[in-house]
Amino acid sequence: MGAAETERDIILDSIADGVFTVDEEWRITSFNRAAEAITGIPRAKAIGRPCYSVFRSSICETDCALKHTMETGEQVVNKTIDVLNTVGERLPVSISTALLKNKHGKVVGGVETFRDLSTVEALRKELEGRYAFHDMLSRDHRMRELFEILPEVAASGSTVLIEGESGTGKELLARAIHSLSPRADGPLVAVNCGALPDTLLESELFGHKAGAFTDAKKDRRGRFALAEGGTILLDEIGDVSAAMQVRLLRVLEERVYEPLGGTEPVHADVRVIAATNRELDKLVAEGQFRLDLYYRINVVRLHLPPLRERKEDVPILADHFISRLNQLQGKAIAGATDSVLSCLMSYDFPGNVRELENIIEHAFVLCRGGLIEPRHLPEPLRSRVCAACPDTTQADASLEEIERLLIQTALERNGWNRARTAQKLGIARSTLRRKMRAFGIEAPKARTPAPGGQPEPYTK
């Protein structure tokens, strides 16, 4: 081994990422210490062997990144793939490739670096486990408090009213309540009450008898009958007409109903969960919703805050959606860049979690590998949000910027009360002050005065 090769090996061994080089016949010519640790193959056994027999990856036979680089000259950067180590374990790695040239500029082979993502994957699973509750993910303190009381709510058997904007996850919450309840072995039947006119909704909920109307050729069971022994979710109950509200009130009060065209009452052994994206108390005050029905469904009231009020959930939800899409579509997207996360953190999500999921799926489809970048996001989001936020259009946008956005959002949500903000973020008040200084976040001088009142100073 010459002096140059010794010096090269010393340099390569000081790199934390795995590195190997190949000649023009795909034989390995160097193999650093990190490559040994990740693959489990000693350098002496790797040198001289074809790279595909050592670096056994999911793309070796079909879409070799190093082959693509050596044939086209195009580098591959941060492509996520799987490799097998010597004991048959599948490890996630991020690879990058480049041409290997001699001092005269002639191509003499290729070089590939690879980073072990096993720790990243383990941390991702740990985070999801820590903040997950029956398919719901959240770091928000209100959501965590909701998760804590949900087992008791589920066990009670009481009627539940779930309030929240469209896309906040009301059906997911209803499914969690059902799965934790004594009725978990029974069916969960969901009905969108706002999507059907009265006649169809009545037949859908309570069923009908043959001859009840022109096309009723035979008896048909309704959703209450299908949910027998389980739970029925009456979604968008705020859109139900006054006449249908009377029928629902009878079911809740007497636990009986009559199929359309029938005369005999049917007992309903069903737990009712109602959900709405409207403010029912206001509808009651306006005379659009019956007060007695409101009292019947408002036994246990749960509120799902919109995503714009819990921005700290955006990164963990985005990561969750990417991980799930990887499993469904057989891809290996490593995640989203800091610039993408900063852009998403600057958006208010009128469609809430459902809209975030759609945005991630759009970007996932356009991303071929590696990390989701701003160019993969839907055009309206790029033009309206990302372009309007100078910090997020730069390639070097960082996790610090995301942290700054989180802290500022939390301060605004808590009225710039530092003690309350620190408590909600789970950090010490001194840490919050230090981070505010570091990020240049300054509180307004005073609250906006109430009409006829004096400005109220912010709590420091």
pLDDT for position 137 = 85
Q: Is residue 303 scored above 90 in pLDDT? A: yes
Contact 160, 274 (CB under 8 A): yes
Q: Residues of the chain with pLDDT > 90: what percent?
A: 34
Domain 141-304: CATH architecture, name and number where available: 3-Layer(aba) Sandwich (3.40)
Q: Is residue 235 scored above 90 in pLDDT? A: yes
Q: Is residue 305 scored above 90 in pLDDT? A: yes
Which of 19-33, 280-294, 298-312 shows the lowest per-residue confidence on average (mean pLDDT)?
Answer: 19-33
Domain 312-419+431-439, classified CATH 3.30.70.1280, yes or no: no
pLDDT category of residue 214 using cuts at 50, 70 and 90: low
Between 307 and 334, whose confidence is greater? 307
Contact 373, 275 (CB under 8 A): no
Given this chain, do its domains 3-116 and 312-419+431-439 carry the same CATH topology? no
Q: Write down the mean pLDDT value for the chain.
A: 82
pLDDT for position 91 = 75
Q: Is residue 70 packed enough to be buried (19+ CB in 10 Å), middle (13-18) or exposed (0-12)?
A: buried
pLDDT for position 356 = 96
Assigned fold of 3-116? Beta-Lactamase (3.30.450)
Q: Is residue 396 scored above 70 in pLDDT? A: no
Amino acid at 295: Y
Alpha carbon separation from 265 to 116, 198, 209, 251 (Å, rounded): 65, 20, 13, 10
Separation between Cα atoms, residue 352 and residue 168, nearest integer Å? 6
Spans of all domains in the chain: 3-116, 141-304, 312-419+431-439
Q: What is the pTM of this model?
A: 0.63
pLDDT for position 335 = 84
pLDDT for position 217 = 66
Between 362 and 451, whose confidence is greater? 362
pLDDT for position 455 = 39
pLDDT category of residue 168 using cuts at 50, 70 and 90: very high
102-142, pLDDT tens digit by residue? 878 888 889 888 877 765 555 455 545 555 677 788 888 89
Closest CA to 276 of 159, 353, 194: 194
